[in-house]
A = this chain, B = another copy of it.
Amino acid sequence: MPQALHEQSASALVPQLERREITAEQLVRACLDRIDAREGDVQAWEYLAADSALEQARQLDRRPVQGLLHGIPIAVKDLFDTADMPTTYGSPIYASHKPAADAAAVALCRAQGALMLGKTVTTEFATFKPGKTRNPHGLTHTPGGSSSGSAAAVADCMVPLAFASQTAASVIRPAAFCGVVGYKPSYGMVNRTGVKALSDSLDTIGFIARSVGDVALFAAATTSDRGLLQLDVSHAPRIALCHTHEWPHADEDTHKAFEHAARVLALAGMPIRELQLPLLFSQLMQAQKEIMAFDLVRSLAHERLRQPHLLSEHLNQVLDSGLEVPIERHYANLQLAQSARGMVSNAFGAFEVLLAPSAIGEAPDTLTQTGDPVFSRVWTLLGLPCVHLPFFKGRTGMPVGLQVVGRHGEDKVVLRVAKWLMERLAPV
């Protein structure tokens, strides 16, 4: 039996839409039916633009096909401004906020023929306080954050593609917990205009889908870099395992995911090599925390000055901690990050990519927090491209995986190797 429309990948849907074998309206209806059936449980959506999406779909069905995403429905993390949908940033301060313009990334995808299905739940200002979303693989488990709704909606086949963003771990962690592919591009690659700013030197727009091919297509449409569509590997990839300085945090499920990956690579005739990051990098996690807090209290200066009572207690604490970072320490942190960014390409040595933990293990069985960002803070600070691969199950059957990490700017290499690895780690 062929896959139902809502279960198919964007890469599979696009040619059918281009050949008019299916209509955008059919596809949107399939997604809406799935949402109707499952949203009561999963709670991925902050706002669903059902009527408007159907109308956009009908318009696209009448228009000549153009663009990489003609007729493809996209979910937009509610941290991204949208001109035709409310945008809350996950905060009651913006409960009735209507932005004047779409975020650039949204507009760029509309120009490629995509239609926006709705806004997905984010934590409070993409920080710590969870939204209502549950993990579709286990409704008592967190979906991870801050791109909670985006990861859950894609995992539950409500939509093929969803925008996400990462300042600490907000693309990779929810992708890991929900068992989908999450791609955080190199820092600076995707235009951030119109996405609520938290930390200028960390904020990165990312992509969530159910396959590596789909995150690559999504990124190509957003950046107009068609080179991202070329995912064939011309030689055996040079991959190192990298347990990272944060390895002691990893649990048994992540250990087993590593062992599985090592076994598969060995079977593929590839020697298992470990990459040790420079000792200096062990300081980067703390630096990332401090830079993020320092920036957050400034980025949210208006909200903190005018409506502090509408910020959660925990966020107010984080903001206070940002005021306690002395300015000299902040500059030292930036200097450290700069040095590490300068060193990391050499640190990769002969390897093209590293395979590293995405999260401690399975999604915690709680809805009161979104899990620990420990395994992504350093890569975010370094600005490196990362792709989470959902190829494993943990002891309770929840998704587990690892992330592929590459050199800054080598997103094409990372995506190619990610696809190569996914085919071997989780053969269909």
Q: Is A327 a contact partner of B107 (Cβ separation < 8 A)?
A: no
Interface size on A, residues (CB 8 A): 42
Report the 8 A-B pairs with minimum CB-CB distance, sorted nearest first.
Answer: A107-B301, A107-B302, A191-B298, A193-B197, A101-B302, A102-B302, A193-B299, A104-B301
A409 is an interface residue with CB less than 8 A from chain B:
yes
Q: Is B111 a contact partner of A301 (Cβ separation < 8 A)?
A: yes
Known: A97-B100, A100-B94, A331-B409. A301 touches B191 (CB 8 A): yes
Q: For A302, what are the chain B residues with a Cβ–Cβ distance below 8 Å?
A: 83, 101-104, 106-107, 194
Cα distance A306–B99 in the bound complex, in angstroms? 14
A188 is an interface residue with CB less than 8 A from chain B:
yes
Q: Is A301 a contact partner of B192 (Cβ separation < 8 A)?
A: no
Contact residues, A219-238 vs B (CB, 8 A): 223-225, 227
Q: Is A104 a contact partner of B298 (Cβ separation < 8 A)?
A: yes
Q: Is A295 a contact partner of B107 (Cβ separation < 8 A)?
A: no
A224: nearest chain-B partner, CB-CB: B327
Write the residues of chain A forming the contact surface with B, with a CB cutoff of 8 angstroms: 83, 94, 97, 99-104, 106-108, 110-111, 188, 191-194, 197, 200-201, 223-225, 227, 295, 298-306, 327, 331, 334-335, 342, 409
Q: For A299, what are the chain B residues with a Cβ–Cβ distance below 8 Å?
A: 104, 191, 193
Q: Is B305 a contact partner of A111 (Cβ separation < 8 A)?
A: yes
Q: Is B104 a contact partner of A327 (Cβ separation < 8 A)?
A: no
Q: For A224, what are the chain B residues with a Cβ–Cβ distance below 8 Å?
A: 327
Known: A188-B200, A197-B192, A327-B227. A101 touches B303 (CB 8 A): yes
Q: Is B108 a contact partner of A223 (Cβ separation < 8 A)?
A: no
Q: Give 16 CB contacts A-B under 8 Å.
A: A83-B306, A97-B100, A99-B100, A101-B303, A102-B302, A104-B299, A104-B302, A106-B302, A107-B306, A108-B301, A192-B197, A193-B197, A193-B298, A223-B327, A225-B327, A331-B409
